[in-house]
């Protein structure tokens, strides 16, 4: 389902490029690629929800020998396709895949009602589903977003009373996404199964179908053009779902709406510029 959705969105955006090319009566690759860029980013994720140790910092868990065996910070990779529709506005699709994770030690549960899906009458101590102390989770995901981007260079220039470099663009973005994921929650110290989504019940075996949720996406993106057709990209985006499933913990008095942030670096390529280079090379041949 998620792969079909990604294909449909990509085709729609490219179709929009063709339609917007006024005066073109036949298929024209040059017009189709006009004002279109492709981007690749890699970065780190940080989850924020019920299972998180600190509010403003990431956590890691070490064994008795001081060796780290679990970290909240994880990595993800994104691919984007963007089409400018005016001087300050563009639309884009973005596909991101990777992991995010969290841990919560026993002292952080003091005063809260802990989410225990399987009671002691259902499972006995030491068996899958039994919760005794702290917990942790790992979620693997794949997501496709549709985004509206707005360039705020002019607003910043007015605020600073100084013109920004033409090679620098600062954008804010807002949109919706379709997130498909699997989440596994285990005991913090012994890796015992507690609960999951996208796994067979009381096991660590992935089920046939992942779980899907609609996502609200918001963030900011800085682009610096350092070569013709090539830009460096710094991106910070937050994704929020209207549920409590990403960490496999539905806790009374908890966060309620799970979210994770993605801080990434990457490159964006202007496809029109690259097509011109190809034309020059072809002409010489």
194-235 pLDDT tens trace = 999 999 988 999 999 999 999 999 999 999 999 888 999 999
| Residue 223 to residue 164: CA distance in whole angstroms | 12
pTM, to two decimals: 0.85
Distance CA 112, CA 126 (A): 23
Query: Would you tell me which CATH number, out of the four given (2.40.160.20, 1.10.10.10, 3.20.20.70, 2.60.90.10), belongs to the domain 37-284?
Result: 2.40.160.20
Q: What CA–CA distance (Å, rounded) separates 183 from 147?
A: 26
Domain residue extents for the chain = 37-284
Percent of the chain at pLDDT above 70? Answer: 83
Q: Are 32 and 13 in contact (CB under 8 A)?
A: no
Predicted pLDDT of residue 22 = 47
Core vs surface per residue 21-58: b (16+ CB within 10 A) or e: beeeeeeeeebbbbbbbebebebbbbbbbbbbbeeeeb
| 254 closest CA partner among 139, 109, 132 | 109
CA dihedral 17, 93, 233, 235 (to 10 degrees): 150
Q: Which of 12-21, 55-64, 129-138 has the highest mean pLDDT?
A: 55-64
CA 49 to chain centroid, in Å, comes to 15
Q: What confidence tens digit (pLDDT) does each residue in 149-196 have? A: 999 999 999 999 898 998 999 999 999 999 999 999 999 998 999 999
Burial class (CB in 10 A: 0-12, 13-18, 19+), 15: exposed
> For residue 223, what pLDDT is reported?
96
Per-residue pLDDT, 282: 52
Asked if 45 contacts 74 with a C-beta cutoff of 8 angstroms, the reply is: yes
Kindly report, residue by residue over 97-139, the tens digit of the pLDDT: 999 999 999 988 887 777 788 876 677 777 888 887 899 999 9
Residue 25 pLDDT grade (very low, low, confident, very high; cuts 50, 70, 90): very low
């Amino acid at each position: 389902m998620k792969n079909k959705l990604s294909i449909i969105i990509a085709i729609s955006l490219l179709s929009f490029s063709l339609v917007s090319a006024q005066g073109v009566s036949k298929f024209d690759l040059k017009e189709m690629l006009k004002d279109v860029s492709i981007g690749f980013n890699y970065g780190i994720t940080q989850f924020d929800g019920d299972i998180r140790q600190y509010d403003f910092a990431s956590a890691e868990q070490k064994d008795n020998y001081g060796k780290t065996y679990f970290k909240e910070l994880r990595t993800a990779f994104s691919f984007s396709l963007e089409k400018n529709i005016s001087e300050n506005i563009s639309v884009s699709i973005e596909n991101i895949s990777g992991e995010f994770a969290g841990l919560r030690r026993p002292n952080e549960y003091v005063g809260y009602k802990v989410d225990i899906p399987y009671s002691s009458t259902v499972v006995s101590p030491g068996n899958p589903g039994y919760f005794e102390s702290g917990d942790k989770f790992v979620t693997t995901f794949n997501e496709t977003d549709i985004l509206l981007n707005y360039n705020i260079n002019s607003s910043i220039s007015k605020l600073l009373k100084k013109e920004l470099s033409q090679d620098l663009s600062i954008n804010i973005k807002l949109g919706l996404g379709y997130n498909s994921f699997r989440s596994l929650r285990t005991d913090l110290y012994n890796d015992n199964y507690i609960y999951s989504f996208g796994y067979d019940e009381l096991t660590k075996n992935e089920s046939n179908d992942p779980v899907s949720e609609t996502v609200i996406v918001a963030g900011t993106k800085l682009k610096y053009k350092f070569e013709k057709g090539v830009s460096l990209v710094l991106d910070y985006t937050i994704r929020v779902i209207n549920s409590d499933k990403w960490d496999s913990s539905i806790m009374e008095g908890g966060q309620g709406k799970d979210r994770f942030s993605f801080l990434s670096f990457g490159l964006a390529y202007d496809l029109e510029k690259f097509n011109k280079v190809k034309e020059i090379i072809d002409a010489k041949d």
